Chains A and B, each alone.
Chain A
Amino acid sequence: MKTVFSVLTVVAGIVVIWYLACVPMNIKGVLDQAQRAGEKVVPDTANARRDAAALGLVAKNTFAINRVWSVDRPRLPAPHQVVTELWQTTVMKKVTSKRSLIYHAHVTLSATLLGFALGTGLGILLSVGIVHSRVMDMSVMPWAIVSQTIPIIALAPMIIVVLYSIGVQGLLPKAIIAAYLSFFPVVVGMVKGLRSPDQMQLDLMRTYGASGGQLFWKLRLPSSMPYLFASLKIGIAASLVGAIVGELPTGAVAGLGARLLAGSYYGQTVQIWSALFAAAILAGLLVALLGLVERTLLGRMGVKS
C-alpha cells in the first residue's frame, strides 16, 4: 500500500515536471504564432528570440504561458495532448483504419511475437545442446557471451534489404531481427538454468538410476524455469525493440516504427509521442503477461518466489 502511494507520487512528480518543461520548450513557437496573429511580443523579431534564453522569454511574455500546452505542433507536447491523441487513435478509430494505433501496434506485435517464438525456441534448443555437449559448450558459448557486448541491432537494415532482394518481405524480416535479439539472452540464461541443479541433486537422480532423458525432464528442465522466465522478460522487450527498429530502414508503411519515422519526417510530434507511449504500453503489457505466466507456472511447480 505504502509502495503504491510512493509510486503514484513519483509518477505525479514526473507529470508535473513534464508540464513545467513544456513552458520553456514551446515558448518560442507560441510567440512566433502570437506575433503572426498581430499581438505584441517583447523581442519583436524572430531572430532576436532565437538567441534569447527560453526562461527570459517566458518572464517577458507572461500572457503566452497558458498557450504552451495546446500548441498544434509543439516541440514538447503536453501529457494531455498525448493522452487525447492516444484515445483518438485507439478507441475512436476503427481498428482496420490506417490511422488507428491498434492497427499499427498489431503489425508490430505480430512481428515481435513471431520473432520471440523463433528466437526462444532456437535459444532453448541451442542451450540444451550446449549443456549436453562439451565441444559445443567450449566453442559456441564464448561467442554467445561476446555477442551480448556488441550492438547486433546494427545488422537490422542489412537483413531487411538482403531478404527483400531475395524476395522475402513483410512480417518475416522484422521477425528475424526480433528473433536474433531475443536469442542470445535466452541462450545465456537457459544454460545457467540447466546447470543450476547442484551436485547433490544430480547424485540423487543417479542413485535412483535415472536415465539421461529422465535427468533432463525431471531435474534440469524444471530447475531452469526461474532462469528461463528472467531471460524471457529481457528477450521480449528486446524483440519489441527489434521489430520497431526493423521497420525503420525500409520506410515501412505500417507498424509503430513506421509511425515514429513518419512523425519525425513531418514534424508531427504528438504522433511520435503517442507511438512511443503505445510501444511502452505494449512492452509493459508483454512483460506483465510473462510475469503472470511465470507466477502461475512456478506457483504450481512449487517454486518459492
Chain B
Amino acid sequence: MTLVMLLLVVLIWALGWWINARLANGAQSETRAVKLAVPAIFGLTLLIVWELLVRGLGVPMVILPAPSLIAARFAGSLAILWADFSQTILKGALGGYVIGCGAAVLTAILVDRSDFLRRGLLPVGNFVAALPIVGTAPILVMWFGFDWQSKAAVVVVMVFFPMLVNTVAGLREASDMQRDLMQTYAASYWQSLTKLRLPAALPFVFNGLKISTTLALVGAIVAEFFGSPTVGMGFRISTSVGQLALDMVWAEIVVAALAGSLFYGLIAVMEKMLTFWHPSQRG
C-alpha cells in the first residue's frame, strides 16, 4: 500500500514536471497564460504530493496535517479567522503601518532641510534598519498594554527607519537641473517640494512602503507572542501550537500569506498608478 502510494507520488511529480517542461520550453513560453500556469501547476503538484505523502505514510496530524484537513479547518472556522485577521492585520498592522510610514515621510521632509542632519541620520537609520527591532516588542507591550495599540507601536518602530532611509534618499532624486528650473520659475520651497521633489521621490517611497508591508505583518504577529487579548493571529498560533491543533496553525498561516500578498499587491497597484511615468513602470 505504502509502496503504491510512493509510486503514485513519483508518477505525479514526474507528470507535473513533464507538463511544466513542455510548457516552459515550448513555443508559447513567453505568453502571459503560460507564465501563470507554470508556477500554478508546480504549486498544485506540490499540494497533491503533500496530501498523498501525509495520507500514504500515515503522518500524524501533530506533525504535518494534510492540505485537505487544513482547507476543511479554514472553511470551518471562518468566524475565528476573521476576528483574528481584523485584530492583528486591520487594527495592529495597518494602524501601525499608516502611523509609522506617515511619521517617517514627515520626518524625512524635515530632515531633508538640513544637510547636517541628513548626513548624520542616514547612517544611523541604515544601522537601525538592520537591527532585530522585533525585540522591542516586550517593552512596547509593557507600555501600551495587551491590546492592539502595543502591536501598532511595534509596527511603527519596525517600519519607521526603512521608510525614513528610503524617503530621504528619494528626496535627493530630483537633479540639480530640475531644481534650478524650479528656481528660475521662482517656485517657493513648498511648490518645489510638492510639484517636483515629492513626485520624484515616489519610486523610493514605494520601495520603502513595499519593504514595510512584510515588516508590519511580522511585527504585529510576533508582538502577540509577548502577550495579547484572547484574539489575534499570533495568539491563535501560539495557543494552537500548545494544543497541538496544527491544522488551525496552518489555517492562520494561510491567512497570513493571503493578507501579506494582498497587502503587497495593493501597494504595487498604487505604485503602478502613481509612478506610471517612471522608466521601471513603462517597461
Which residues of chain A in 97-152 are interfacial with respect to chain B, using CB atoms and an 8 Å cutoff?
A: 134-135, 137-143, 146, 148-151
Contacts of B17 in A (CB 8 A): 135
Whether the pair B29, A153 counts as a contact (CB closer than 8 A) is: no
CB distance from A291 to the nearest CB of B (A): 11
Contacts of B43 in A (CB 8 A): 143
Contacts of B75 in A (CB 8 A): none
Which residues of chain B in 97-142 are interfacial with respect to chain A, using CB atoms and an 8 Å cutoff?
A: 116-117, 119-121, 123-124, 127, 130-132, 134-136, 138-139, 141-142
Partner pick for B24 among A138, A149, A261, A263, CB 8 A cutoff: A138
A280 within 8 A of B: yes
Contact with A along B158-202 (1 / 0, CB 8 A): 000000000000000000000000000000000000000000000
- Chain B residue, CB-CB nearest to A75: B143
A194 within 8 A of B: no
Whether the pair B39, A134 counts as a contact (CB closer than 8 A) is: no
B50 within 8 A of A: no
Expressed in whole angstroms, the Cα–Cα distance for A142 and B62 within the complex equals: 30
A31 within 8 A of B: no
Which residues of chain A in 144-203 are interfacial with respect to chain B, using CB atoms and an 8 Å cutoff?
A: 146, 148-151, 153-155, 157-158, 161-162, 165-166
Binds B, one of A36-44, A50-58, A223-231, A244-252: A244-252
Whether the pair B142, A269 counts as a contact (CB closer than 8 A) is: yes
CB distance from A162 to the nearest CB of B (A): 5
Expressed in whole angstroms, the Cα–Cα distance for A40 and B214 within the complex equals: 50
B15 within 8 A of A: no
B63 within 8 A of A: yes
Whether the pair B35, A7 counts as a contact (CB closer than 8 A) is: no
Binds B, one of A83-91, A204-212, A233-241, A296-304: A233-241
Binds A, one of B1-9, B233-241, B270-278: B233-241
Contacts of B246 in A (CB 8 A): 158, 162
Most buried by B among A14, A141, A146, A244: A146
Expressed in whole angstroms, the Cα–Cα distance for A107 and B127 within the complex equals: 23
A68 within 8 A of B: no
Contacts of A240 in B (CB 8 A): 132
Whether the pair A165, B132 counts as a contact (CB closer than 8 A) is: no
A33 within 8 A of B: no
A148-B244 contact given A3-B123, A7-B124, A287-B130, CB 8 Å threshold: no
Count CB-based A-B contacts (< 8 Å).
163
Whether the pair A263, B138 counts as a contact (CB closer than 8 A) is: yes
Instruction: Give the secondary structure class of B's interface.
Output: helix
Contacts of B252 in A (CB 8 A): 154
Whether the pair B24, A264 counts as a contact (CB closer than 8 A) is: no
Whether the pair B249, A158 counts as a contact (CB closer than 8 A) is: yes
Contacts of B94 in A (CB 8 A): none
- Chain A residue, CB-CB nearest to B215: A151
A69 within 8 A of B: no
Expressed in whole angstroms, the Cα–Cα distance for A67 and B35 within the complex equals: 65
- Chain B residue, CB-CB nearest to A153: B218
Contacts of B242 in A (CB 8 A): 161
CB distance from A263 to the nearest CB of B (A): 7
Whether the pair A272, B261 counts as a contact (CB closer than 8 A) is: no
Whether the pair A248, B42 counts as a contact (CB closer than 8 A) is: no
Contact with A along B253-272 (1 / 0, CB 8 A): 10011001101100000000
Contacts of A20 in B (CB 8 A): none
Expressed in whole angstroms, the Cα–Cα distance for A150 and B89 within the complex equals: 12
A264-B226 contact given A143-B43, A162-B64, A237-B132, CB 8 Å threshold: yes
Contacts of B264 in A (CB 8 A): 149
Contact with B along A1-45 (1 / 0, CB 8 A): 011011111110010000000000000000000000000000000
B228 within 8 A of A: no
- Chain A residue, CB-CB nearest to B143: A75
Contacts of B20 in A (CB 8 A): 135, 138-139
B21 within 8 A of A: yes
Residues of chain A at the chain B interface (Cβ within 8 Å): 2-3, 5-11, 14, 75, 134-135, 137-143, 146, 148-151, 153-155, 157-158, 161-162, 165-166, 233, 237, 240-241, 244-245, 248-249, 256, 260-261, 263-264, 267, 269, 272-273, 275-276, 279-280, 283-284, 287
**Contacts A139-B42, A150-B261, A273-B139 supplied; 19 other A-B pairs, CB < 8 Å:** A6-B116, A7-B120, A8-B120, A137-B24, A138-B24, A143-B42, A146-B261, A149-B263, A151-B221, A151-B256, A155-B253, A241-B132, A245-B225, A248-B222, A267-B142, A269-B142, A280-B131, A280-B135, A284-B131
CB-defined A-B contacts under 8 Å, sample of 16: A3-B120, A11-B124, A135-B17, A137-B24, A154-B233, A157-B225, A157-B241, A158-B237, A158-B253, A165-B244, A244-B132, A244-B134, A260-B135, A260-B138, A276-B139, A283-B132
User: What are the nearest 7 A-B pairs in CB distance?
Assistant: A6-B120, A264-B138, A139-B42, A10-B120, A150-B260, A149-B264, A151-B217
